[in-house]
Structure 1
Amino acid sequence: MPTQEEQQNLAVVTEYFDEYWNKANPEIVDKLCAENFVINYPMHGPRYGKEAAKGMMRGLKEAFPDISFRVYQHPLIASGPFVVGRWIGGGTHTGVAISDLAVGSLDNANTGKKIYFSGITIFTLKDGKIIDETAEEGTLTALQQLDLVAQPNPGKEIKYLHE
């Protein structure tokens, strides 16, 4: 049974995830995150502070107006100050060009390219506020879908011979 602190942390992260990632509402950061909040996703790199986190979502929304992510397959799990969750989602690049990617950029607006990928995020909370959001995401999958990283060539795989 989760402790009272864990139940509160689950409630905070549930609201944050629904507002920030599902509804793409960056303003929720002011309510639920600490002043020294850090958000770190491999595709975009770390962002320090509330304004940087809000700017990241605004940029994503400008490039992918329909972007949305949801908790997927398993409920959020709390342990002490940590909440962990698996998620899935994506969107269609029908907006502005985007250069905020780990590898390359979409130099043209409105490419129509779709991304759909999953990941796992670990949230750290202190005094009822999120202080850190660190994830491992399907960066390679998303970058391949955007044609920024080459996909494997079918038929060119290394085959192992069995004697």
Structure 2
Amino acid sequence: MTNVDIEVHVNGSPRRHSVPPRLTLADYLRVDCGLTGTHLGCEHGVCGACTVLLDGEAVRACLVFAVQADGAEVTTIEAMASDDGTLSPVQAAFRDHHGLQCGFCTPGFIVSATAFLDENPSPTDGEIREALSGNICRCTGYQGIIAAVKAAAATTTSTGE
């Protein structure tokens, strides 16, 4: 198979690569871009560990081919914090409310929660649970994750972010 030339804006920077047509976006980000914060869990789109933003929408990077992202903006967990290292409200809330343990699922949860709160800045507990139902955590029991998203929603609502 012949490689395909793509240009993707990853975390605000243009990237040009020649990639195989069947290379997943997750593998492209991890191998070609060196962004290993996008984790591969199930590689079937079930666990949510590989969630990234594709033109602002949360997607499973293991289910998207890199060539499908040609011309798009991809945002990974590496771009969630400010350039000076200040954590985003969602990241800070996960830290403060013990929304992580081993950390493997955390990037996917943070990206998913960020996209969700952009659409619904004042969610109910039920809405949070529904929005994150596509992300799997084997360590936390989810209580800290739900508390973190609620806290992040309260922070972003009160600060107007």
Could you tell me the TM-score, scaled by structure 1's length?
0.26
- Report the structure, 1 or 2, having the larger helix content: 2
- Report the structure, 1 or 2, having the larger strand content: 1
User: Considering only CA atoms, is the larger Rg found in Structure 1 or Structure 2?
Assistant: 1
